Every structure is written in structure tokens, then in C-alpha cells.
Amino acid sequence: MHLADQELLLAFKIPDSKERAYTLLVKKYQEKLYWHIRRLVVEHEDANDVMQNVFIKVWGALDNFREDSQLYTWLYRIATNESLSYLEQQKRKSAVDFDEVSEGLSNKVKADAYFDERKLEWKLQLAIQQLPEKQRIVFNMRYFDEMSYADISKILDTSEGALKASYHHAAKKIEEYVKAH
Amino acid sequence: MDFLDHIKQGPDGPNKMPESFFMQFPEKMMERVRWEEELKTVAPLLVTISRKPVFMLPEGYFNSFSVKRNTDKAKIVGMPGWRKLVSYAAAAAVAGILVTGAFLFTDNKPASSFDLATYNKIDVSAELNKLPEEALQQYLATNTVGGAGHELNTEIDVPEASGNVESLSDDELMNYLNEAGEKPETK
């Protein structure tokens, strides 16, 4: 664990400095968590809603945080679970299957104000939306956040071998998609 | 500088690196090299694509982001004293109108002097037991409505009415009506 994280956790346990420690924790991790969530839910409003849920959960659960795990993997775990719950709620509301979910996310990507279908970065984003949910999460964590398999394993409760296979499979599919479009 | 300012700025001030930075640097570099080598073997095209966020983000979002916790209650603004008095007077006037209206429109008459609370405390059986036998008999002799002698006689035989009236002849019916004192209807 980073020293600063340890100090934040210590400060959070002291009533006088609890609120300030929490504010610093939010400031420190908000950007990383936001982009992790945004890549999963795509739209800003949705990402903002999930961010709120994540940090509310963090406030309530930080007292019980076990310091034998890393703070940032714990935060990513909450963010991932909240994002998936959010997507699940949306799926239930609209009663759609995987293809329709994938299409819905692609449409959200295309609806972005900066979207430019000629740019590789946007083709990459469209390709990611074609992946099954688990592969999408693994690919995002490994590709964008450069997270180690060991850390992803802690977040997703999946073996490192399975994660590696999942990432390789996803990366190949994305490359094929980008080349084809 | 307090404890949390120390965290915010790093151990030795805003321009100093965290102590762990150089210790972790070689390992981080090796991780980066491994990441790139892996991707080059699996999907080399992806190494060349920029990984900077492409989605539109509202300006200043991270600077203005704050968590809306349940404890963040809206600030309660106190009213000036005279406005409170006006509010109370208005509430009293409305209550007065409602009570008066309810009294007038529900045709309420003044309640009798009957006091339910006092009545509920009276043990009727105990009070009756205190009365002398003669007084009770005298009361029953003079107040017979719904009292003794008016019990429902359950032993009276009710005639069977399930017979087929249509099977009776006109003469038989006329006889019955004459006996029962009913005047037969003539067409």
C-alpha cells in the first residue's frame, strides 16, 4: 500500500480529520475511477451517477476496510461492481439481450459530441463495445489502466490465467474489428 | 502545516517526490515493458493507438465533483419573528374557519348532559344488585316494553308453506280466504 493511502486511512479513523481525509481520498482517486466507470457505462451522466454511488459506499465502508488489501484495488472493486449493477438495472428496465446491449453502448459512443468514426481511437471504442461484459472489463483494466493481472485478479476474483486468456482474446478481436472498419 | 496538509503536499513539500517513488520506479518500468511486449505479440496495432480519454467531459468536472452524501442536508434558513407571527395567525384563522364550518354543516346539536366518561365508570350489574327486589318487580310490572313477557316464542309451530298452491281448486282457496278474514279480489 502507498504510504499516502495508509495516512489517509489513519486520518479517516480520527473523527476530527475524517471528513478532510475523505475529501482527499476522493480527490486522489476520482479521475482514475471516473474513467474506469465511464469506459463501462459510456455516458457521462451515467458515469456521474455511478461515481456518486461508489463514493457513498466508500464513506460507509471505509471504517471496515481491511488494510491487508490495497486501497486502490478495493476502490476499483467497488467501482466495477457498481458499474455492473447499473448496467444490469438498465438491462432489466429495457429487457434487452446481449446484442442489443452491445448495440446500445455503441450508439452511446457514436452519440458523443467528439465522436469521429475515422479516428482509430473511436474505432477502438466501438470495438470494445462488441466484447462480452467480462472481457470488456478485463481489457479496459489491462489496456487503459495497465493494471497487473495480480491486481485484476483481486478485483474480479478470477484466476490470473483466466484473465490473461480473456485479455488476449479481447485484444485480438478488437484488432480485427479496427482493421475491418 | 497540519497532518493532512503534509499528506496533500508530500513528505517534504509540494515539489518533492514521495519517498517510495524511486524505490518503486524500476518495478513500474518493468511492468510497463512487460505490458507493451505482451500487447505487441497479441495485437500490435493496439500499441500504436492513443489511450488518452476520447469521450467528452464537462469542463471543470473533476474540480467541481463532490459527493452528495445523505448527511449533506439543506441549510435551514430561519424566518423573521413577524413572519412567524403572521404564519401562526393565518394557521389559527384557517383552523377556526374549518371548525366553525364543520359544526354548522354537520348539523351538530349540543351534546346532552350525558357524560360518557362518567358513564363508562359505572358498573351496571353492581348498581342493580344494590336495588331491593320489590323495586325491581315494580319496575318490570310498569315497564313491559321490550321486557318480561315479550320474549320471542320459539316453540310456535310455523305452518308448512311449501305446498303447491296451484294444485288447490278455486273453491278451496275461496274458503281459505273467507276463514282467514281476507276479502278475495274480484276481477
Query: Among residues 51-110 of chain B, which lie with CB inside 8 Å of chain A?
Result: 51-58, 61-62, 65-70
| This model's pTM is above 0.95 | no
User: Which uninterrupted H or E stretch holds B65?
Assistant: none
Whole-complex ipTM: 0.86
Among B32, B42, B65, beta carbon nearest to A172: B42
Q: What's the pLDDT at B163?
A: 56
Q: What is the pLDDT of residues B4-28, one digit of tens each?
A: 665 555 545 555 666 677 788 888 8
Alpha helices in chain B (DSSP H): 3-9, 20-42, 44-48, 61-64, 81-105, 116-121, 124-130, 133-142, 170-179
Looking at every residue in chain B, the average pLDDT score rounds to 72
Query: Cβ B43–A171 below 8 Å, yes or no?
Result: yes
Average pLDDT on B81-101 reads: 79
Query: Cβ B43–A11 below 8 Å, yes or no?
Result: no
Q: What is the pLDDT of residues A50-60, one digit of tens each?
A: 999 999 999 99
Determine the straight-line distance between the first and last CA of chain B, rounded to whole angstroms: 119
- Residue A121 with chain B: CB contacts under 8 Å: 49-50, 52, 54
Q: What are phi and psi of A100, to 5 degrees?
A: -70, -35
Closest residue on chain B to A53 (Cα): B67
Q: Is the dihedral of CA B101, B106, B110, B111 positive or negative?
A: negative
Q: Is B169 on the interface with A (CB under 8 A)?
A: no
CB burial of B106-137 (b: ≥16 within 10 Å; e: otherwise) equals eeeeeeeeeeeeeeeeeeeeeeeeeeeeeeee
Cβ A118 vs Cβ A129: under 8 Å: no
